A = this chain, B = another copy of it.
Amino acid sequence: MGNSFGELFRITTFGESHGPAIGVVIDGCPAGLEIDEKFILHELGRRKPGQSRITTQRKEDDLPEIISGVFEGKSTGTPICMFIRNADQRSRDYSHIAEKFRPSHADYTYQQKYGIRDYRGGGRSSARETAARVGAGAIAKLYLRQKGIGIHAFVSQVGPVCLDIPYTALDLQRTDDNIVRCPDPATAERMINFIDQTRKSRDTIGGIITGVITGVLPGLGEPVFEKLHANLGKAMLGINAVKGFDYGSGFEGISMYGSAHNDEFYTDEQGTVKTRTNYSGGIQGGISNGQDIYFRVAFKPVATIMQPQHSINTKGEETTIEGKGRHDPCVVPRAVPIVEAMAALVLADHFLLNLKSRL
């Protein structure tokens, strides 16, 4: 329990940070889909460490190996297992965390829950696991592309540096043009500078990623509990370091009056039903209404900092601890493909679930 996601397009991930590999099994990918391995590699490359000076300098070559479920380049309807070896698995000294609980990490809670933990690099709780999600999400994206659905995400806030331009006025194709993955170059530069400063002060900072989903037909979402946004929210909150999620008007909508917030319907010249505003974020009653879906995901500052901190050891005694190695001062640039992957998995799953809605 806990390591599978989705009902019909269902993934199960496995692997620890410092085991031989991480991986994922996708059960339910429709048969006949062309599996573009270059695209998967590209997506993994967007998440991998060592991309730029504002991410961790650790190098990992995330090469996906497809073990099953693909024949002559196409999905066969059987489970697709993707395997990503932990290349940078050198034998290190973990004595500094084997017996200590790092603040705001999962060391203490895994120990309490299971009575045992693989402390090397955080084990299962390491964000390394999200590479498996990005691999699976790439396949979900390939599927959604067939259905005309586009998945986009970008960095919209780093600490206090906020992108104030609405997504509709941005060119989302330019997100990857800079290392912080903010599609507005001026804001991107300010964000990069802020992260640089933070890194130099041996500290870390949080941020926000905005997701945008386009081309969604009306009807996706399964009320009353598997509402489309409820599944998006669960998906995002399952990503390491995420502390919050909202969609459409979100937390800002609470101080609007209903008369301003309601999205009036109209029929455009092509006969398509649209709404004049989109505070609903493309979802009403938990079901997509055909407008763009957009949402925000809040990330806390990375817990590993290059400064000494107070903590306790496994005997409960006071001790100090200090981050070693190469860590991200801000997680959001590398988290953009993870947000996209999880969004793609939710959409693919709901696309399949919706096939059964009507006679």
Contact = CB atoms under 8 A, between A and B. Distances in A.
Contacts of A240: 285
* Interface pairs A-B: 8 shortest CB-CB: A106-B285, A244-B246, A2-B222, A204-B258, A206-B254, A109-B287, A31-B114, A258-B301
B243 A253 contact: yes
B27 A1 contact: yes
17 contacts: A5-B225, A12-B79, A19-B68, A21-B68, A103-B275, A104-B261, A104-B279, A104-B284, A105-B285, A106-B286, A109-B221, A113-B287, A113-B354, A233-B245, A243-B254, A250-B298, A265-B312
Given A2-B27, A75-B116, A352-B355, 4 more contacts: A108-B218, A203-B258, A230-B233, A240-B285
Contacts of A204: 257-259
A74 B116 CA distance: 9
A325 interface: no
A249 B112 CA distance: 23
A344 to B, nearest CB: 15
A233 to B, nearest CB: 4
Interface string A73-106: 0111111110000000000000000000101111
Copies in the assembly, this chain: 4
Interface string A212-227: 0000001101111111
Interface string A4-25: 1101101011111001111101
A227 B237 contact: yes
Interface of A: 1-5, 7-8, 10, 12-16, 19-23, 25, 27-28, 30-33, 65, 67-69, 71, 74-81, 101, 103-106, 108-110, 112-118, 123-125, 129, 143, 146, 157, 159-160, 198, 203-208, 218-219, 221-227, 229-231, 233-235, 237-238, 240, 243-251, 253-259, 261-267, 271, 273, 275, 279-281, 283-290, 298-305, 307, 309-312, 316-318, 352-359
A30 B221 CA distance: 14
A19 B254 CA distance: 31
Contacts of A299: 254
Given A113-B218, A124-B223, A246 B243 contact: yes
A109 B218 contact: yes
Contacts of A302: 258
Contact of A312 (B124, B221, B273): B273
A262 B71 contact: no
Contacts of A3: 25, 27, 78-79, 223-225
B243 A247 contact: yes
A223 to B, nearest CB: 6
Contacts of A116: 31-32, 71, 74-77
Contacts of A118: 71, 76, 78
